[in-house]
Each structure stands twice: as structure tokens, then as C-alpha cells.
Amino acid sequence: MKVEEARTLSDEELRKKLEEAYKEFFDLRFRAATKQLKNHRELPWAKKKIARLKTVIQERELGIR
């Protein structure tokens, strides 16, 4: 998900997507720890997704955009 796409979502949808991203990241970390993760690049991608969503939420709280 790109930042532009995240900015079009409502506050509730953003929070839901953030929760899903955290669950996805947890699952990826678990699979990496048990050596079941095939593509290790998924971990940084998931972290970036979380950061993007948190940035948009923070922008809205501060009234930047």
C-alpha cells in the first residue's frame, strides 16, 4: 500500500489496516524464527507498511494533511 492510497482511507479503515499489518508482521517474524519463511524481504516490507500507516495517522492527528 502506498501513502497516497492510505491517505484516501477513513480513520477507522486506517486503524484496521494497521492492526492487520501488525498481525502480518507477527506471523512473518514467527515463520522466520521457525525457518519457514521463504522470502526474507517480506519482513522489511511489512515494517515499512506499518510505518506508512502510522505516518498517515500521525499526520491526521497533527492536522498536517
**Domain 3-62: assigned CATH number:** 1.10.287.310
Per residue of the chain (65 residues), give pLDDT as tens. Answer: 789 899 999 999 999 999 999 999 999 999 999 999 999 999 999 999 999 999 999 999 999 86
The domain spans of the chain are 3-62
CA-based nearest residue to 61, from 19, 15, 20: 15
Cell of 29: 517474524
Number of CB atoms found within 10 A of residue 5's CB: 11
pTM: 0.89
pLDDT at 2: 87
pLDDT, position 64: 84
